[in-house]
Amino acid sequence: MMNYYGYDMMGGWGIFMMIILVILIVIIVYAVMKLVQGGNNAGTTSNGRDEALEILDQRYAKGELSDEEYQQKKKILKS
């Protein structure tokens, strides 16, 4: 509602407050998405690659992989 000064009830701060509210909502949504995706990207970290190399070494030691397969997969994991 406009008063005799020409401002709405919030004294001209309405749009500013709406922008702050939108920014806060975007930050909260971003934080929640990061928390949800946190467990899904474990294979892309260096720790995940180290685990994959350990598994590859174990499979090679057990004789499950040939020399060529082992070298090829190891090269892929290190890149």
Same domain, 58 and 72: yes
Residues 60 and 32 in one domain: no
Specify burial of residue 74 (Cβ count, 10 A radius: 0-12, 13-18, 19+). middle
CB atoms within 10 A of CB 56: 18
35 and 48, same domain (yes or no):
no
pLDDT score of 30 = 93
Domain count, the chain: 2
| pLDDT value, residue 4 | 56
Residue 43's pLDDT is what?
47
d(CA 52, CA 74): 9
Please check whether residues 3 and 26 belong to one and the same domain.
yes
pLDDT means over runs of 10, the chain (79 residues)? 56 80 95 80 61 91 92 88
Looking at the structure, do residues 34 and 47 belong to the same domain, yes or no?
Answer: no
Pair (29, 54) in one structural domain: no
Domain enclosing residue 57, as ranges: 43-79
